[in-house]
A and B are shown apart, each in its own frame.
Chain A
């Protein structure tokens, strides 16, 4: 297990328990020592990022370095989350790398994601997340 500078936490935003379960295993397999936080939808995730409600304990809930974001979720979907994320104050955004992670085969989604690409959204990946994907992202955005 390796600790990575700036990656104390990875936030998984997905409503599907099975997917989150698999992703946790992938992160473990990649040998990254980090806290994995699951949010069931964009709204939950925002609460976590702004440390509201159940998430007010700073030490227990460190700021994530990577967010894996699903598109299709109840309450607040991936696109709505991106819109809301833009509005967050900078100290809550930090240096977070957001990667959109979706099952969608639709080219429209990819085009739409391209419009969001920039400071907030960095990557667009298709599910399932693989150890290689994860390692690539870590190598690209974090110093080891």
Chain B
């Protein structure tokens, strides 16, 4: 998870960098083309003046798109403006005007504007640029015929082009520097945050361990006292107690034993995944062991268990065993009265991820309860019909979370349930 956070941060920083540069370049583009538009207007060269005005409008729309966050449009129109503008200028004024110099900052900008991962955009933009240069070379920089301006004005324009080339290159370099600094700062900040987060997690974990200790020792002790005193009353005063008193004592015993089950369940829940290691495990073996552990309840219910071919995967071994144990024992526990429980355990690889299914022919679950069942201590049935604390599926959910997977259920009430889960580790 920490890795993902860092990656996300880097990505954001890179995007921010491109964003800044695009914004600055569109301002530079607006200034240059507008300046040329005015220049050509006064030089009475309508073709170039009109074209510059079009380019200027495009540059402004690019800036607008940038401010609205439509980066792709902003970037692509900048490249098009640059190419078209320089192409027409060079094609009309000839090589000696020096306008072709503007192609150098243009290729700089293409490389910087696009995130390197978007290589197709870079190739297309570069191709347009080179195509323009080749066409200019073939026609010897004289595609558009206009009346040549005076030599002094040509010199002025050459000066402006060199100057613009310099400015654009400088903007690019400074933006890179600026963005790199910002990236470093953001990264340092992100790392600091991660460190603080890790410290917080560590202290939370310690707290949890403390809590577990309290739960296992301090909470159980008064319970043990109650149990032994109830036993004492039952032993010594059995004859003197009336029905209500006896009933009360039975309720006390029941409540106390339920309380210790709940504490144990909570404790186990907290311990899941602690100090666990990922190991390559043959899941056929795991299911086999689980069935051996559950042999007596399987035999009592004369349940039939069919296991398909299961894979060998990297998993938390103990936790996965608990998972199968819970699912199989649930399938037996919630069987249809008078029906032989039949449980199928299957696995299938879909899109590179293993999906498992534990299918039974039991009482099923109403659709409205499908999400509830994974909540800790949530029970759907009355305690007198089906015993248990309601923690089994909460364990399963936590185990599946440990494996970055999903667990869900499909069920037809009265006909059976199928628990599906994925392991993605």
Contact = CB atoms under 8 A, between A and B. Distances in A.
B383 A18 contact: no
Interface in A19-77: 21, 25, 40-41, 74-75
Nearest to B248: A21
B382 A40 contact: yes
Contacts of A25: 244
- The A interface, classified by DSSP as helix, strand, loop or mixed, is loop
B248 A15 contact: no
Interface string A6-20: 000000000111100
Nearest to A80: B368
Contacts of A40: 382
B251 A21 contact: yes
Contact of A21 (B247, B381, B382, B384): B247
Given A21-B247, A25-B244, A41 B382 contact: yes
Interface in B230-246: 244
A18 B154 CA distance: 102
B222 interface: no
Contacts of B247: 21
Interface size band for A: 10 to 19
Nearest to A75: B380
Contacts of A15: 382-383
B159 interface: no
Interface residues of B, number: 13
B251 A17 contact: yes
A41 B379 CA distance: 12
A74 B379 contact: yes
Contacts of B244: 25
A19 B244 CA distance: 14
Contacts of B252: 18
Interface in B344-384: 379-384
A120 B54 CA distance: 72
A123 B136 CA distance: 89
A74 B381 CA distance: 5
Contacts of A41: 382
B78 to A, nearest CB: 54
Pick from A25, A40, A74, A75 the residue with the most CB of B within 10 Å: A74
Contacts of B379: 74
A15 B390 CA distance: 14
A41 B254 CA distance: 19
B251 A18 contact: yes
A18 B254 contact: yes
Interface of A: 15-18, 21, 25, 40-41, 74-75
24 contacts: A15-B382, A15-B383, A16-B383, A17-B251, A17-B254, A17-B384, A18-B251, A18-B252, A18-B254, A18-B255, A21-B247, A21-B248, A21-B251, A25-B244, A40-B382, A41-B382, A74-B379, A74-B380, A74-B381, A74-B382, A74-B383, A75-B380, A75-B381, A75-B382
Interface of B: 244, 247-248, 251-252, 254-255, 379-384
Ranked 6 nearest A-B pairs via Cβ = A18-B251, A74-B379, A74-B380, A40-B382, A74-B381, A18-B255
Given A15-B383, A21-B247, A74-B379, 20 more contacts: A15-B382, A16-B383, A17-B251, A17-B254, A17-B384, A18-B251, A18-B252, A18-B254, A18-B255, A21-B248, A21-B251, A25-B244, A40-B382, A41-B382, A74-B380, A74-B381, A74-B383, A75-B380, A75-B381, A75-B382
